[in-house]
Amino acid sequence: MNDRQWNTLISVIRGETLPSLPTGFIIDSPWLPKWAGHTILDYFTDDHIFFEDNLKAIKTFPETLLFPGFWSEYGMCTEPSAFGAVPVWEENEFPFAKNVIHSPADIERIEKPDPRKEGLLPFAIKRLQHLKPEIQNAGHKIRFAVSRGPLNIASFLMGATEFLMALKTDPDATHHLLRVITDFLEEWIDVQRRCFPTIDGIFILDDIVGFISRQDFEIFGLPYLKQIFSADVAVKFFHNDASCKASAPLLPEAGINLLNFGVQHTLVEMKEWTGNRITLIGNIPPRDILAAGQPKDIHHSVTDMLDSLEDHSHLIISCGGGMPPEVPTENIKALIDATKSWQSAH
């Protein structure tokens, strides 16, 4: 993000009235390289392609916020790789990490990795260090420390079903695993902040939060998210595009001030559940409307969504979740244009 975009983000998080409603999208490897004309594996392994693809998106959509901005990632494999999970790569498919915990008894041998040295993490840092001069020459700065969340990482180390079962059958072992992961994430975020002093935001993605009850979230989610989001930064961004109903009322307590959620819930519901204390990014259906719809469908969806709200503060117009694969340029521009058209009419 450039300085103007960052200042816009800070203003909307504060609840200030802006001259125009902001739009924004989470962009990463499921969408960006294919949209830019490259394979996913080339995007992960070629710094030049990584930079040019991100820059192309910035130049194509200069009026919108693109989160987190030059995201140095290896799909879901980045953090699990530090715990010894083997990444599996295809030329043009999203990579996945093989499980390393095959029973709750295996949790005892899990140790906190060193994010400066282990797994793919040093590669993620080096990529940005190599490209930092070019990013700055383009007028942008590295603004976010980014990571998958503790429950998400645990599910990749164990398997999602196995982890969710362990919450009930082996709660002590589960807490041990989450404590190790959370301590690691605190250090990983600190490493990113030390390497790039322009970082003033953290971005945590954890869809597994959406698969547990409110009671389980209070026990197994909230304490660990609160620990991570205690970092002294201006923007505390959380992504969960699974169900948010159970966790939403507690997210302000975790320190979160920016939330991207899924299409299971409306903006009206999320504003009510969070007490309008969190800036929301959403909530156009990503697959059925943004990816598969026509511009007129997007216009109607944006109009209906904005008409449903009495309060348009703490809001960034987007899709529910990250940018899905196969979204064409014209549909993204249609969302931006529909937002402008609605505001002009009001």
Span 80-92, average pLDDT: 97
Tell me 106's DSSP state: G
Q: What is the pLDDT of residues 8-24, one digit of tens each?
A: 999 999 999 899 999 99
Alpha-carbon distances of 212 from 143, 240, 246, 247, rounded to whole Å: 31, 12, 8, 9
Average per-residue pLDDT for the chain: 97
Span 217-246, average pLDDT: 97
Assign 151 a pLDDT band (cuts: 50, 70, 90): very high
In angstroms, the first-to-last Cα distance of the chain is: 28
Alpha-carbon distances of 218 from 139, 209, 249, rounded to whole Å: 41, 10, 11
Extract the tokens encoding 186.
């605190």
* pTM score: 0.97
Q: What is the pLDDT of residues 91-108, one digit of tens each?
A: 999 999 999 999 999 999
Q: Which of 296-330 are b and which e, b meaning 16 or more Cβ less than 10 Å from the residue's Cβ?
A: ebbbebbeebbeeeeeeebbbbbbbbbbbbebeee
Contact between residue 249 and residue 269 where contact means Cβ atoms under 8 Å apart? no
CATH topology of domain 3-345: TIM Barrel (3.20.20)
- pLDDT of 77: 97
Residue type, 267: L
Tell me 86's DSSP state: P
143-95-114-48 Cα dihedral, nearest 10 degrees? -50
Domain residue ranges in the chain: 3-345
